[in-house]
Amino acid sequence: MAGEKIQLLEQKNIHLWFGGSPVVLCTMRLELDKSAGAIFAYSKMLNVQPEHIKEVVFDLICYDSVRLIVSTIENCKYTGLDIPRNGVFGMDVPIRVRDPSTRNIEFVLKSVTVTSGETWVNKDEIRFNMSLEQKSLFNVQGDLNRQFIDNCMRDGIDHTRLIFQPVFNDSYWLCACGALNWSDEESCCECGVPKKWLFDNMQSDLLKQQDDERKAAAYKIRKESEEKERLQRAHDKETFEKRKAEYERQLQKQKSRKTQRRFVLVLIIFLVLFGGGFLFFKYAIPYINYQNAVTDMNRANYDSAIEKFEKMSGYLDSDELKLECLYKKAIDSFYARNYDVSAEIFLQLGTYEDSQQKYTESLIGTADGLMEQEMYSEAYGVYAEAGLNCDTNANMKKCANKIYNAALEELEGKHFADAYTKFSEIGDFKKSAEYANECQYMLAKRSYDRCEYGKAIDIYSGLGEYKDTKKIIEKLKNLMLVLSAAADDETPAVWETVDTVCPKCGNNARYVFEFYKTGKCYFKVECENGCENEGFKGRFKIENNTLYLSKYVGGILKWEKRADIKSVKQDEHSVDGKNTAIVITDPLNNKKNNITLYGNNISDGMISIT
């Protein structure tokens, strides 16, 4: 068997790191392959920085059984990689160990090269010395873990992925999902949970307070439920008395119909006795059906009665009795507090008796029930549908205050999207409109800082003259122009040259820029001689008349100025039907010669630079 030919000499699941390292050493393994008569070393490494890894160079130190160095294998390589962030590699790549006395190994990282061409170097030859193993979140929180899960569900966070106690340090933080993040990252690169939210909801004092409040609320609800049952019993008794009075009213109403019915009955008897079977089916059967429907109505079997009256539409007063059945059903539902049912029927009845007034009262009853369940947003919406306002209805004003205060808490916690939704619900209540604009302003700023330009521009464009929005739009006008032909987050705006020379060989070449609304940028040089030129794959930003490209230093995003934008002009006969020409300084030429990029500007007017 194949397994008998392999002897495991050492295996460690270590999860080691050192400050600033682009990779984490997850496991290492040492095997003796008896069939080959050789020892092989393996490792599993994890990419923890934003760029894709292209190559990793390391030394392998070999120790004997008493931990004495027997040899060092220098400049071992993993090449030909394209490993994204949080991707693992190396576990299937054997490294042959020459010295047969090797029983322990150590990996020493030397350099890491990313696909953009940049290389990180371990100049001080720092060893993997920091354990990233985390404690179980459940074991740390104990009984408070239930409250933590409730907080996750409240804020729409997938708690099933958060299983470790997070760690927060000056240069990095470990998420509860186990992912390593750099200190400047506001949300987890793996599961997306916000860093501040995670930190706040890890505080045992806060969780204990929330847990106590939850238990107190449950006790309050139980007591309120008991009180509601008592009130319901009293209400049921009152409803019975009202229905009894209504029944007596209906009896009086029905007396006026008896004369007509007796006449019809006498006529039917005459027809049965003297008119034969045809007349019986023509006149007697409809009347029998009519009487059955009336019986159902008198017994409060309204659904059955309504169905029968519908089938005999136009017969005697069946159309009027159908409306009466609907009204009675709605009244019964109203007094039974089934306001959703009563509202639907009263709306259908239109102007029948007091249906319009009862429809409004049903909506108010629905809203009051929602408010009792502390569903303030839903209740506020139904109050508004009923035509109420906060000045005339105390309950609606109470809901507005609850929503307003919840929105302020979301704003204070920098949950701007949730805060904006709540402020927008209550329109101009207090300072809601002003705060809603502030939430949008902060969302636009956050989106821009994250290079989510499409989202940021959309929000800024809708803010009008709020604060310094006009100045920001002016600063971003060239960014908006460059991105105007980007159809969506996945379709870039393409700008290219037609008369550029290769920076290496001097022959004809073409520069191609692809700009995405998500802040991604791809830049390449296509030389007619096939020269391999410097390219770029990363993030970009354009402010005023300057193009910046990103650069990661120790996991921190830096911006490097690469070109000045000199002018923008309309040029419909440039290349491939593109309508705009942008003159910029050559990003690959230190002499800063000017080049022209051609692309499409989809806007109402052209932008010019003076």
pLDDT digits (tens, 9 = 90+) for 228-260: 888 888 877 777 777 667 666 666 666 655 555
Number of structural domains (the chain) is 3
Retrieve residue 301's tokens. Answer: 């079997």
pLDDT digits (tens, 9 = 90+) for 289-340: 888 888 888 888 999 999 988 888 888 888 899 999 999 999 999 999 999 9
User: Does 540 share its domain with 557?
Assistant: yes
Residue 126 lies inside a defined structural domain of this protein? yes
Residue 496 has pLDDT above 60, yes or no: yes
User: Does 109 share its domain with 49?
Assistant: yes
User: Does 65 share its domain with 170?
Assistant: no
Retrieve residue 21's tokens. Answer: 């390292």
What DSSP element (H or E) covers 575?
Answer: none
Q: Residue 581's domain spans which residues?
A: 474-599
pLDDT digits (tens, 9 = 90+) for 64-73: 989 999 999 9
User: Does 64 share its domain with 7?
Assistant: yes
C-alpha pair distances (Å), 20 with each of 126, 322, 555, 597? 10, 79, 7, 38
**Confidence at 2, pLDDT banded by 50, 70, 90:** very low
Could you say which of 107, 131, 155 is where a domain stops? Answer: 131
Rounded-to-integer distance, Cα 453 and Cα 451, Å:
5
Give residue for tokens 């079997």: 301
Give the pLDDT mean for 506-521: 91
Q: What is the CA radius of gyration of the chain?
A: 38
Could you say which of 169, 202, 235 is where a domain stops? Answer: 202
Strands 167-168 and 172-174: antiparallel
User: Does 112 share its domain with 161?
Assistant: no
User: Which residue, 600, 369, 357, is CA-closest to 481?
Assistant: 600
Question: In this predicted structure, what is the pLDDT of residue 359?
Answer: 93
CATH value at residue 51: 2.60.40
User: Does 116 share its domain with 161?
Assistant: no
pLDDT digits (tens, 9 = 90+) for 561-605: 989 999 888 766 556 778 888 999 988 876 678 889 998 887 644
- Residue type present at position 527: C
Rounded-to-integer distance, Cα 176 and Cα 154, Å:
17
By the 10 Å C-beta count (0-12 exposed, 13-18 middle, 19+ buried), 281 is classed as: exposed
User: Does 61 share its domain with 168?
Assistant: no
Which position has the higher pLDDT, 25 or 288?
25
Question: In this predicted structure, what is the pLDDT of residue 574?
Answer: 57
Rounded-to-integer distance, Cα 313 and Cα 415, Å:
58
Residue 318 lies inside a defined structural domain of this protein? no
Residue 462 has pLDDT above 60, yes or no: yes
**Confidence at 608, pLDDT banded by 50, 70, 90:** very low
**Confidence at 261, pLDDT banded by 50, 70, 90:** low
Residue 364 lies inside a defined structural domain of this protein? no
Q: Is the torsion defined by CA of 445, 446, 452, 454 positive or negative?
A: negative
- Residue type present at position 560: E
Could you say which of 161, 179, 202 is where a domain stops? Answer: 202
pLDDT digits (tens, 9 = 90+) for 177-198: 999 999 889 999 999 999 999 9
**Confidence at 104, pLDDT banded by 50, 70, 90:** very high
SS3 of residue 418 by DSSP: helix
Q: Is the torsion defined by CA of 66, 70, 74, 80 positive or negative?
A: negative
What percent of the chain is modeled with pLDDT above 90? 56
Q: Where are the alpha helices (DSSP H) in 275-349?
A: 277-279, 285-298, 302-311, 318-335, 339-349
Question: In this predicted structure, what is the pLDDT of residue 431?
Answer: 92
User: Does 171 share its domain with 91?
Assistant: no
- Is residue 478 within 8 A of residue 565, CB to CB? The reply is yes
Residue 143 lies inside a defined structural domain of this protein? yes
Question: In this predicted structure, what is the pLDDT of residue 168?
Answer: 93
User: Does 146 share its domain with 124?
Assistant: no
Residue 1 has pLDDT above 50, yes or no: no
Residue 352 lies inside a defined structural domain of this protein? no
Give the pLDDT mean for 101-110: 95
- φ/ψ region of 199 (left if φ > 0, alpha if ψ in -120 to 50, else beta) reads alpha
Residue 584 lies inside a defined structural domain of this protein? yes
Question: In this predicted structure, what is the pLDDT of residue 373?
Answer: 93
User: Does 118 share its domain with 143?
Assistant: no
Rounded-to-integer distance, Cα 399 and Cα 260, Å:
54
Retrieve residue 127's tokens. Answer: 């060893």
Residue 264 has pLDDT above 70, yes or no: no
Retrieve residue 250's tokens. Answer: 């209906």
> Could you tell me the pTM of the whole model?
0.54
Indicate the average pLDDT of the chain.
87
- Is residue 155 within 8 A of residue 196, CB to CB? The reply is no
Retrieve residue 513's tokens. Answer: 């820029």
Residue 57 has pLDDT above 90, yes or no: yes
Which position has the higher pLDDT, 326 or 142?
326
User: Does 125 share its domain with 158?
Assistant: no
Rounded-to-integer distance, Cα 528 and Cα 508, Å:
6
Residue 115 lies inside a defined structural domain of this protein? yes
**Confidence at 407, pLDDT banded by 50, 70, 90:** very high
What percent of the chain is modeled with pLDDT above 70? 90
Residue 232 lies inside a defined structural domain of this protein? no
User: Does 141 share its domain with 121?
Assistant: no
